[in-house]
Amino acid sequence: MNKDLSGIVLTEEQICEKVAKAAKWLDEKFAGTTPLCISVLKGSVFFFCDLVRAMKTPVQIDFMTVSSYGRSSVSSGMPKIVMDLAASVEGRDVILVEDIVDSGHTLVRMRDLITGRGAKSFTTVALFDKPSRRVVPVKADYSCFEIEDEFIVGYGLDYAQQYRNLPYIGILKREIYEK
Ligand code: IMP
Ligand code: MG
Protein backbone atom coordinates (compact mmCIF):
# COMPACT_ATOMS: atom_id res chain seq x y z
CA MET A 1 0.00 0.00 0.00
CA ASN A 2 1.18 3.55 -0.78
CA LYS A 3 2.77 5.16 2.33
CA ASP A 4 0.46 8.22 2.17
CA LEU A 5 -2.63 6.07 2.69
CA SER A 6 -4.18 5.00 5.99
CA GLY A 7 -6.23 2.17 4.51
CA ILE A 8 -7.69 0.55 1.41
CA VAL A 9 -11.32 1.22 0.49
CA LEU A 10 -11.56 -0.98 -2.60
CA THR A 11 -9.03 -3.48 -3.94
CA GLU A 12 -8.63 -4.14 -7.66
CA GLU A 13 -10.83 -7.24 -7.34
CA GLN A 14 -13.56 -5.31 -5.52
CA ILE A 15 -13.48 -2.54 -8.13
CA CYS A 16 -13.90 -5.20 -10.83
CA GLU A 17 -17.00 -6.61 -9.10
CA LYS A 18 -18.58 -3.15 -8.69
CA VAL A 19 -17.91 -2.32 -12.33
CA ALA A 20 -19.49 -5.57 -13.54
CA LYS A 21 -22.64 -4.89 -11.49
CA ALA A 22 -22.96 -1.33 -12.78
CA ALA A 23 -22.46 -2.52 -16.39
CA LYS A 24 -25.23 -5.10 -15.94
CA TRP A 25 -27.57 -2.44 -14.56
CA LEU A 26 -26.85 -0.21 -17.58
CA ASP A 27 -27.24 -3.08 -20.07
CA GLU A 28 -30.70 -3.82 -18.70
CA LYS A 29 -31.74 -0.18 -18.70
CA PHE A 30 -30.41 0.64 -22.17
CA ALA A 31 -31.19 -2.59 -24.06
CA GLY A 32 -31.98 -1.83 -27.71
CA THR A 33 -30.49 1.70 -27.65
CA THR A 34 -27.08 3.23 -28.40
CA PRO A 35 -26.43 5.63 -25.53
CA LEU A 36 -23.76 8.30 -25.45
CA CYS A 37 -21.51 7.66 -22.45
CA ILE A 38 -19.73 10.72 -21.10
CA SER A 39 -16.72 10.55 -18.84
CA VAL A 40 -16.28 13.48 -16.48
CA LEU A 41 -12.50 13.88 -16.59
CA LYS A 42 -10.16 13.36 -15.11
CA GLY A 43 -11.35 11.46 -12.06
CA SER A 44 -13.70 9.01 -13.77
CA VAL A 45 -11.32 8.01 -16.57
CA PHE A 46 -10.37 4.49 -15.44
CA PHE A 47 -13.82 3.72 -14.09
CA PHE A 48 -15.30 4.88 -17.38
CA CYS A 49 -12.98 2.76 -19.53
CA ASP A 50 -13.62 -0.36 -17.45
CA LEU A 51 -17.37 0.30 -17.31
CA VAL A 52 -17.99 0.79 -21.04
CA ARG A 53 -15.87 -2.27 -21.86
CA ALA A 54 -17.89 -4.35 -19.40
CA MET A 55 -21.13 -3.30 -21.12
CA LYS A 56 -22.65 -5.40 -23.89
CA THR A 57 -24.82 -2.54 -25.19
CA PRO A 58 -23.24 -0.68 -28.11
CA VAL A 59 -22.29 2.79 -26.90
CA GLN A 60 -20.63 5.92 -28.16
CA ILE A 61 -18.20 7.79 -25.92
CA ASP A 62 -17.27 11.38 -25.25
CA PHE A 63 -15.34 13.35 -22.66
CA MET A 64 -15.68 16.51 -20.69
CA THR A 65 -13.11 17.99 -18.34
CA VAL A 66 -14.54 19.63 -15.25
CA SER A 67 -12.42 21.17 -12.54
CA SER A 68 -13.68 22.07 -9.09
CA TYR A 69 -10.87 21.76 -6.58
CA GLY A 70 -7.59 23.39 -7.46
CA ARG A 71 -5.23 22.23 -4.73
CA SER A 72 -7.78 22.14 -1.96
CA SER A 73 -9.65 19.07 -0.73
CA VAL A 74 -12.92 21.01 -0.51
CA SER A 75 -15.11 21.70 -3.54
CA SER A 76 -15.24 25.32 -4.69
CA GLY A 77 -18.94 25.11 -5.52
CA MET A 78 -18.22 26.53 -8.99
CA PRO A 79 -17.27 23.61 -11.23
CA LYS A 80 -15.50 24.95 -14.31
CA ILE A 81 -15.79 23.35 -17.76
CA VAL A 82 -12.20 23.11 -18.92
CA MET A 83 -12.96 21.02 -22.03
CA ASP A 84 -16.40 20.63 -23.56
CA LEU A 85 -17.90 17.63 -25.36
CA ALA A 86 -17.15 16.99 -29.04
CA ALA A 87 -20.53 15.35 -29.72
CA SER A 88 -24.00 16.87 -29.70
CA VAL A 89 -26.25 15.45 -26.97
CA GLU A 90 -29.47 16.57 -28.67
CA GLY A 91 -31.96 13.70 -28.82
CA ARG A 92 -29.45 11.29 -27.23
CA ASP A 93 -29.74 8.93 -24.30
CA VAL A 94 -26.87 10.23 -22.18
CA ILE A 95 -25.06 8.27 -19.49
CA LEU A 96 -22.86 10.52 -17.38
CA VAL A 97 -20.06 8.68 -15.59
CA GLU A 98 -18.73 10.40 -12.47
CA ASP A 99 -16.10 9.35 -9.95
CA ILE A 100 -17.65 10.78 -6.76
CA VAL A 101 -20.79 12.69 -5.94
CA ASP A 102 -19.63 14.86 -3.05
CA SER A 103 -21.24 18.31 -2.63
CA GLY A 104 -23.35 17.55 -5.72
CA HIS A 105 -22.36 20.78 -7.50
CA THR A 106 -20.69 19.00 -10.43
CA LEU A 107 -23.61 16.66 -11.01
CA VAL A 108 -26.15 19.51 -10.97
CA ARG A 109 -23.98 21.54 -13.33
CA MET A 110 -23.67 18.62 -15.77
CA ARG A 111 -27.36 17.73 -15.54
CA ASP A 112 -28.48 21.29 -16.28
CA LEU A 113 -26.03 21.62 -19.14
CA ILE A 114 -26.84 18.31 -20.81
CA THR A 115 -30.60 18.43 -20.38
CA GLY A 116 -30.47 22.10 -21.46
CA ARG A 117 -28.83 20.99 -24.72
CA GLY A 118 -31.80 18.72 -25.48
CA ALA A 119 -30.70 15.22 -24.39
CA LYS A 120 -33.53 12.69 -24.69
CA SER A 121 -32.66 11.12 -21.33
CA PHE A 122 -30.04 11.68 -18.65
CA THR A 123 -28.72 8.92 -16.42
CA THR A 124 -25.82 9.19 -13.99
CA VAL A 125 -23.54 6.48 -12.71
CA ALA A 126 -21.08 7.28 -9.94
CA LEU A 127 -18.37 5.08 -8.51
CA PHE A 128 -18.76 6.67 -5.06
CA ASP A 129 -21.44 8.53 -3.19
CA LYS A 130 -20.58 10.67 -0.14
CA PRO A 131 -24.11 11.49 1.05
CA SER A 132 -22.99 13.15 4.30
CA ARG A 133 -21.21 15.88 2.30
CA ARG A 134 -24.11 16.87 0.08
CA VAL A 135 -24.75 20.62 -0.33
CA VAL A 136 -27.25 20.48 -3.19
CA PRO A 137 -29.95 17.78 -3.13
CA VAL A 138 -29.02 15.42 -5.97
CA LYS A 139 -28.29 11.72 -6.29
CA ALA A 140 -26.75 9.55 -8.99
CA ASP A 141 -29.17 7.05 -10.53
CA TYR A 142 -26.65 4.33 -9.73
CA SER A 143 -23.83 4.51 -7.17
CA CYS A 144 -21.39 1.63 -6.81
CA PHE A 145 -20.29 2.38 -3.27
CA GLU A 146 -21.25 4.68 -0.40
CA ILE A 147 -18.51 6.15 1.80
CA GLU A 148 -18.12 8.28 4.90
CA ASP A 149 -16.50 11.69 4.85
CA GLU A 150 -12.95 10.54 4.05
CA PHE A 151 -10.69 11.81 1.29
CA ILE A 152 -9.91 8.95 -1.06
CA VAL A 153 -7.44 8.58 -3.90
CA GLY A 154 -6.45 6.08 -6.60
CA TYR A 155 -8.08 4.54 -9.69
CA GLY A 156 -8.40 8.02 -11.22
CA LEU A 157 -9.03 9.95 -8.01
CA ASP A 158 -6.42 12.50 -7.07
CA TYR A 159 -5.21 14.88 -4.47
CA ALA A 160 -3.43 17.82 -6.18
CA GLN A 161 -3.14 15.66 -9.35
CA GLN A 162 -1.30 12.88 -7.54
CA TYR A 163 -2.14 9.21 -6.83
CA ARG A 164 -4.41 8.80 -9.88
CA ASN A 165 -2.59 5.73 -11.22
CA LEU A 166 -2.85 3.60 -8.08
CA PRO A 167 -4.79 0.52 -9.22
CA TYR A 168 -6.78 0.41 -5.94
CA ILE A 169 -8.61 3.08 -3.91
CA GLY A 170 -7.41 4.14 -0.48
CA ILE A 171 -7.93 6.74 2.24
CA LEU A 172 -5.43 9.59 2.12
CA LYS A 173 -3.82 10.35 5.50
CA ARG A 174 -5.16 13.60 6.90
CA GLU A 175 -1.66 14.95 7.52
CA ILE A 176 -1.12 15.01 3.73
CA TYR A 177 -3.94 17.43 2.97
CA GLU A 178 -4.16 19.27 6.28
CA LYS A 179 -0.53 20.40 6.34
P1 IMP B 1 -18.83 17.64 -6.10
O2 IMP B 1 -18.45 18.30 -4.80
O3 IMP B 1 -20.00 16.70 -5.93
O4 IMP B 1 -19.06 18.66 -7.16
O5 IMP B 1 -17.63 16.73 -6.52
C6 IMP B 1 -16.63 17.28 -7.32
C7 IMP B 1 -15.50 16.36 -7.55
O8 IMP B 1 -14.67 16.39 -6.42
C9 IMP B 1 -15.71 14.88 -7.77
O10 IMP B 1 -16.11 14.57 -9.08
C11 IMP B 1 -14.29 14.39 -7.52
O12 IMP B 1 -13.51 14.52 -8.68
C13 IMP B 1 -13.82 15.32 -6.46
N14 IMP B 1 -13.81 14.65 -5.14
C15 IMP B 1 -14.75 14.65 -4.18
N16 IMP B 1 -14.39 13.91 -3.13
C17 IMP B 1 -13.16 13.41 -3.46
C18 IMP B 1 -12.25 12.50 -2.78
O19 IMP B 1 -12.48 12.00 -1.69
N20 IMP B 1 -11.11 12.25 -3.45
C21 IMP B 1 -10.80 12.75 -4.67
N22 IMP B 1 -11.62 13.56 -5.34
C23 IMP B 1 -12.80 13.89 -4.74
MG1 MG C 1 -14.50 14.61 -10.71
- pTM, to two decimals: 0.95
Active site residues: 102
Nearest to 156 by CA among 169, 147, 145, 143: 169
Q: What is the mean pLDDT of the chain?
A: 94
Confidence of residue 72 (pLDDT cuts 50, 70, 90): low
Do 45 and 99 contact (CB within 8 A), yes or no?
Answer: no
**Residue 78 has what pLDDT?**
78
Asked whether the predicted pLDDT for residue 74 surpasses 70, the reply is no
Query: Closest ligand to 166 CA?
Result: 1
The pLDDT value given to residue 68: 77
DSSP class of 46: H
Query: pLDDT tens, 100-152?
Result: 999 999 999 999 999 999 999 999 999 999 999 999 999 999 999 999 999 99
Ligand 1 site residues, Cβ closer than 6 angstroms = 43, 68-69, 75, 79, 98-107, 151-153, 157
pLDDT one-digit tens code per residue, 82-96 = 999 999 999 999 999
Percent of the chain with pLDDT over 70: 95
Q: Which of 10, 38, 68, 173 has most ligand 1 atoms within 8 Å of CB, for mutation? A: 68
Residue 57 and residue 123 in contact, taking contact as beta carbons nearer than 8 Å: no
Please, which residues have CB within 8 angstroms of residue 24's CB and are 6 or more apart in sequence? none
